[in-house]
Amino acid sequence: MKHLTQSTIALLSLLLLLLSSSSSLCQPKISYLLPDIGTPGMNTYVEIIAPARAEGGFGLDRVWLNNPNDALRVEVTNPTDSALLRIGPIVVSQNGKMISTQVFVNRNLIPNSADWEKLSTQFRIPIRVFANGSYSNSDSFYIVQPWPAINLNSSTSICCRTKIFCCSWSLKWIGVQYPIDSNSSCTTASTELKI
């Protein structure tokens, strides 16, 4: 009788372990966004990445319109933030481990900084995924001021091998890189270029 009780307890423990691990596999999880930064009046192509071993974490590979009642959707975590940005249709790929979408930032916003680290909280927008009947963790999308990549005028020179970019916390960048070969000379111009 004692042996049967220990076997029963072991079997029930194993069953509980399997049930708890299968429910955690069904819950979507965001590992990171790439990129996680945008600017007013622009749209940004964003990839939402699930953990490497979370096949099917965002559901089956397919296209979704991202409507409010869809079984799979990407949305702002705080409903009031929907006035700040809109999230377009979504494409699930990589065996349910990646979502691709466009994030459209309201053109009338005036963020307090071009540097994501100096942003006030109103420009750090948490977004989440709804899939498999539950919500994922939230990850932030940062709305920054447009950043002038180059401001060329008669008093400014660009010298050889100049690289200009702006990074967010996860080393995603917005900007442009200007590789200039070693035979180039420094130049000046009276034009302003913005990204």
Predicted confidence (pLDDT) per residue in 79-132, tens digit: 999 999 999 999 999 999 999 999 999 999 999 999 989 999 999 999 999 998
**Domain coordinates of the chain in residue numbers?**
28-143, 147-195
What is the pLDDT at residue 149?
Answer: 59
**What is the rounded CA–CA span in Å between residue 118 and residue 85?**
19
CA 17/CA 22 separation, integer angstroms: 9
Q: 12-49 pLDDT, tens per residue?
A: 666 555 544 444 456 899 999 999 999 999 999 999 99
Architecture of domain 28-143: Sandwich (2.60)
- The predicted-structure confidence for 3-18, as pLDDT tens digits, reads as follows 557 767 666 666 555 5
Mean pLDDT of all residues in 60-84: 95
Q: What are phi and psi of 23, to 5 degrees?
A: -70, -30
